[in-house]
Chains A and B, each alone.
With several copies, the nearest count.
Chain A
């Protein structure tokens, strides 16, 4: 039922103009093999939701450098000078979002919430165009959910039912992105048998995962 597919089959699901969520913090926790697959396939005009664009030769940075990204939603682009250059030249449309707000917007998208109130960004440019609400005398911004066509996930251990366990700091945006996209493809660093991950310690239940691809260990 849970489908193990080849990299080519995974790439068949990606098309020009799609909105794609890709986790990772400076490349840590990013599914590099899937990103390489996108570079190789050459799909264009992608809308990418991620927390940062890593470096030109790492993670999501490779998609930027290769000119495949039309719109970018991220919290930080400073470590990849190419992103800033392409933004300034009008080649990439960048929306900057505070990291905690980005995480929460993705979670809201996956959890069926219509939005949430956060104090982050009040009194800054982040509040532009947003509804402001006062609760108990305190100002909050109404932030709306984010969803995607596809989420590309990286699991340290993945079983045949799609259950995922993440090691150390690789977890970051993986868990929430796996809940917020129509199609979820996980790159398994290590494939394990069902039961090898204690059901208590499963971090992304297999019900969220549509396809599994074997990545490089």
Chain B
């Protein structure tokens, strides 16, 4: 299993039956492929619907239905469409159980930076700031480092998406929970050691005891 699949598969275990989940573009999108068969997770697309389904076959594309990345998707039975004011009312109003996003940087108190690199990349925050503030649980699905450099920092240096909103970080090396008492390494990947993780993590973290093996 490659790194991205491992991360997506582990994130998928966070959900329970009936949860309403918003997946960011990129790696987070893969999470939908690993939901257990015995639960129903309702995916929200912030451009205006719930019960998003998989991508259609190329001959069944409906140009009126795209996901938040602009790609063709389908809707499942029981879906509902709405406008952007309602969609972000759902998001900001705490009706989304979890959002899964990528990160440029995250720090040990749960600050997140994932929308711009000054002077380099200014795509805009889109719906990310509302999602991170509004969702009940904020899960980061991200590779542990960027070109070998730590992304889990003592303090974010890039412009923030939101302050102290991140709850869980899932990387290919392990699972961290952000708590008021500090960041805790809860699970470790079978092919990683705590020392290896410390070497590529700038933030301080507590190692849970017992430290669970990250499920694959």
- State the A residues within 8 Å of B (CB): 1, 25-28, 51-52, 74-79, 84, 87, 96, 98-101, 103-104, 106-107, 110-113, 118-126, 156, 159-161, 163, 166-176, 179, 194-195, 199-200, 202-203, 205-208
Q: Contact at B126–A169, with CB atoms within 8 Å?
A: no
Q: Contact at A169–B81, with CB atoms within 8 Å?
A: yes
Contact of A79 among B70, B92, B162 (CB under 8 A): B70
Tell me the complex Cα distance, A161–B42, Å: 11
Contact of A170 among B64, B124, B126 (CB under 8 A): B64
How many residues of B are in contact with the other chain, CB < 8 A?
Answer: 58
Q: Contact at B122–A76, with CB atoms within 8 Å?
A: no
Contact of A202 among B68, B81, B87, B93 (CB under 8 A): B81
Chain B residues with CB under 8 Å of A100's CB are: 84, 87-88, 91-92, 127, 129-130, 134
- State the B residues within 8 Å of A (CB): 17-18, 20, 40, 42, 44-51, 62-66, 68, 70, 75, 77-85, 87-95, 111, 121-130, 133-134, 159-164
- Known contacts A1-B18, A113-B92; can you find 17 more A-B pairs with CB under 8 A? A1-B40, A74-B124, A77-B123, A78-B124, A79-B123, A100-B134, A103-B83, A106-B85, A112-B92, A112-B134, A123-B164, A124-B163, A160-B78, A163-B80, A168-B64, A169-B66, A172-B87
Chain A residues with CB under 8 Å of B20's CB are: 207
Tell me the complex Cα distance, A51–B70, Å: 13
Contact of A1 among B17, B92, B93 (CB under 8 A): B17
Chain A residues with CB under 8 Å of B87's CB are: 100, 103, 172
Tell me the complex Cα distance, A63–B65, Å: 24
The smallest C-beta distance from B130 to any residue of chain A, in angstroms, reads 3
Chain B residues with CB under 8 Å of A111's CB are: 88-89, 92-93
Tell me the complex Cα distance, A150–B111, Å: 34
Chain B residues with CB under 8 Å of A174's CB are: 83
Contact of A169 among B18, B65, B123, B163 (CB under 8 A): B65
Contact of B124 among A96, A119, A206 (CB under 8 A): A96
Q: Contact at B78–A26, with CB atoms within 8 Å?
A: no
The smallest C-beta distance from B58 to any residue of chain A, in angstroms, reads 17
Q: Contact at A121–B122, with CB atoms within 8 Å?
A: no
Q: Contact at A206–B88, with CB atoms within 8 Å?
A: no
Of B45, B77, B164, most A-chain CB atoms within 10 Å:
B77
Contact of A175 among B17, B83, B126, B133 (CB under 8 A): B83
The smallest C-beta distance from B71 to any residue of chain A, in angstroms, reads 9
Contact of A51 among B65, B84, B121 (CB under 8 A): B84
- Pick 7 A–B contacts, CB within 8 A, sort by A: A26-B47, A77-B123, A120-B129, A163-B78, A163-B80, A171-B82, A202-B80
Given known pairs A98-B130, A168-B49, the reply for A28 and B63 (CB within 8 Å) is yes
Given known pairs A124-B163, A169-B65, the reply for A87 and B122 (CB within 8 Å) is yes
Given known pairs A120-B129, A167-B64, A169-B45, the reply for A205 and B80 (CB within 8 Å) is yes
Chain A residues with CB under 8 Å of B62's CB are: 168
CB-based closest 3 A-B pairs? A78-B123, A100-B88, A123-B163
Of A96, A98, A156, A166, most B-chain CB atoms within 10 Å:
A98
Chain A residues with CB under 8 Å of B90's CB are: 179, 205, 207
Tell me the complex Cα distance, A103–B79, Å: 22
The smallest C-beta distance from B31 to any residue of chain A, in angstroms, reads 18
Q: Contact at B82–A101, with CB atoms within 8 Å?
A: no
Chain A residues with CB under 8 Å of B125's CB are: 75-76, 96, 98-99, 126
The smallest C-beta distance from A196 to any residue of chain B, in angstroms, reads 11
Tell me the complex Cα distance, A107–B84, Å: 10
